[in-house]
């Protein structure tokens, strides 16, 4: 998985070959082929692995309240790390997203990730409503869809036109604070300040 990740970052999706993955690992191309039919099969396994890691990572989020935890999740999604490989991975992932309509396995993996992200956001909003921190007149499911869409857009604009993801983070922080928090929840109470 590490070798596939490294090779994908280095070469991008379109020009990636099995040999590039072998070059990043201690295994030969023949050995890789013994376990995985094609570079596609390795990429499916990689997306599956990354989704599982993400699921584990976002199970426990920093923050005192669900609102804080939501912002931790947003921050983690938007700036998972500062190294170059992460930048290149975002770009390769956008290439893979563009394969969605043509490749059912990619679409299935991408859909699983999308549902995981959406579901986690929804459950945080529901927990916030139960705690009285989040407005009860918002629909947690639709709002989670909205935030998931914003997060996708932030990644796309970052890759396409170098739009800074920290600007999206700031906009989402404003959105959460102004539009989603219950009126009687003070910033201190919800731990945002």
Point out which residues bind a copy of itself (CB under 8 A): 12-14, 87-88, 91-92, 94-95, 97-98, 100-102, 107, 110-111, 114, 142, 145-146, 148-157, 159-163, 167-168, 170-171, 174-175, 178-179
Nearest distance from residue 64's CB to a copy of itself, in Å? 26
- Least Å distance, CB 97 to a copy of itself, is 4
Residue closer to a copy of itself (CB basis): 92 or 124 = 92
Toward a copy of itself, which CB reaches closer, 15 or 60?
15
Q: Are 158 and 164 in contact (CB under 8 A)?
A: yes
Are 21 and 10 spatial neighbours (Cβ–Cβ below 8 Å)? no
In the complex with a copy of itself, the residue whose CB is nearer, 14 or 30, is 14
Residues 6+ apart with CB under 8 A from 84: none
Q: How far is the C-alpha of 175 from the C-alpha of 170, rounded, in Å? A: 9
Kindly state the DSSP code that residue 162 receives in the 8-state scheme. -
Minimum distance from residue 146 beta carbon to a copy of itself (Å): 5
- In whole angstroms, the minimum distance from the beta carbon of 11 to a copy of itself comes to 11
- Residue (65 or 148) nearer to a copy of itself, CB: 148
The residues with which 60 forms a beta bridge, in sequence order, are: none
Q: Which of 118, 122, 133 minimizes the C-alpha distance to 64?
A: 133
Note whether 18 and 29 are within 8 A (CB).
yes
Residue among 60 and 178 whose Cβ is closer to a copy of itself: 178
């Amino acid at each position: 998985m590490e070798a596939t990740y490294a090779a994908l970052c280095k070469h991008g999706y379109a020009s990636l070959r099995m040999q590039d993955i072998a070059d990043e690992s201690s295994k030969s191309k023949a050995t890789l082929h013994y376990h995985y039919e094609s570079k596609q099969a390795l990429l499916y396994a990689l997306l599956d692995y990354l989704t599982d890691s993400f699921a584990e990572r976002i199970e426990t989020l920093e923050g005192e309240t669900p609102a804080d935890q939501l912002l931790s999740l947003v921050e983690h999604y938007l700036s998972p790390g500062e190294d170059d490989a992460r930048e290149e991975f975002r770009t390769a992932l956008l290439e893979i997203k563009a394969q969605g309509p043509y490749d059912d396995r990619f679409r299935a993996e991408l859909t699983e990730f999308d549902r995981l992200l959406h579901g986690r956001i929804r459950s945080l909003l529901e927990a916030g409503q139960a705690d009285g921190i989040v407005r009860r007149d918002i629909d947690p499911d639709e709002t989670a869809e909205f935030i998931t869409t914003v997060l996708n857009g932030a990644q796309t604009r970052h890759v396409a036109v170098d739009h800074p993801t920290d600007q999206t983070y700031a906009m989402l922080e404003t959105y959460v604070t102004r539009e989603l928090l219950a009126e009687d929840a003070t910033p201190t109470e919800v731990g945002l300040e």
